[in-house]
């Protein structure tokens, strides 16, 4: 399983809403099931790529109100939509700033209230499934 962690001024667009100014971390996990393709006479096991099981995990600062993080994510729980991530907000998509799109992903759960005394409230979300594409132009 290959994992890319974005740590520097990334963009996060969830169902056409830009949450880049409210996201503190993003992780994209590109994963494919390993299907065994070993045949008689082979001296070692062989595998081929199966179905994709991709995820985009993010931590956002919770904000409440019309068109804010809590309202938008609450409306998306249990539905399918698209998520777009780029590593660098200030650059256009390209080889050094690929744009990842998770098309038709699913949001299973959210925690709309999550905070402690003396800390900013955050929400951790995992967008699962769907087709992951990488664009460089």
Mean pLDDT of 95-121: 91
Alpha helices in the chain (DSSP H): 69-76
- The residue that leads in pLDDT, 2 or 115, is 115
Residues facing 103 on adjacent strands: 131
Q: pLDDT band for 88, please (50, 70, 90 cuts).
A: confident
pTM: 0.83
CA–CA distances in Å: residue 98 to residues 11, 16, 67, 71, 121 = 11, 18, 27, 29, 30
CB 63 within 8 A of CB 19: no
CB 86 within 8 A of CB 98: yes
């Amino acid at each position: 399983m290959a994992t890319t962690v974005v740590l520097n001024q990334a963009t996060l667009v969830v169902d056409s809403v830009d949450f880049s100014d409210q996201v503190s971390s993003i992780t994209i996990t590109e994963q494919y099931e390993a299907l065994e393709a070993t045949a008689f006479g082979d001296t070692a096991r062989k595998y081929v790529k199966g179905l994709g099981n991709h995820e985009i995990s993010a931590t956002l600062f919770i904000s409440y109100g019309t068109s804010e993080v809590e309202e938008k994510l609450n409306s998306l729980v249990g539905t399918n939509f698209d998520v777009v991530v780029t590593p660098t907000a200030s650059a256009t998509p390209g080889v050094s700033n690929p744009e990842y799109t998770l098309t038709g992903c699913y949001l299973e759960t959210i925690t709309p209230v999550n905070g402690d005394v003396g800390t900013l409230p955050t929400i951790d979300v995992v967008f699962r499934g769907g087709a992951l594409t990488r664009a460089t132009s």
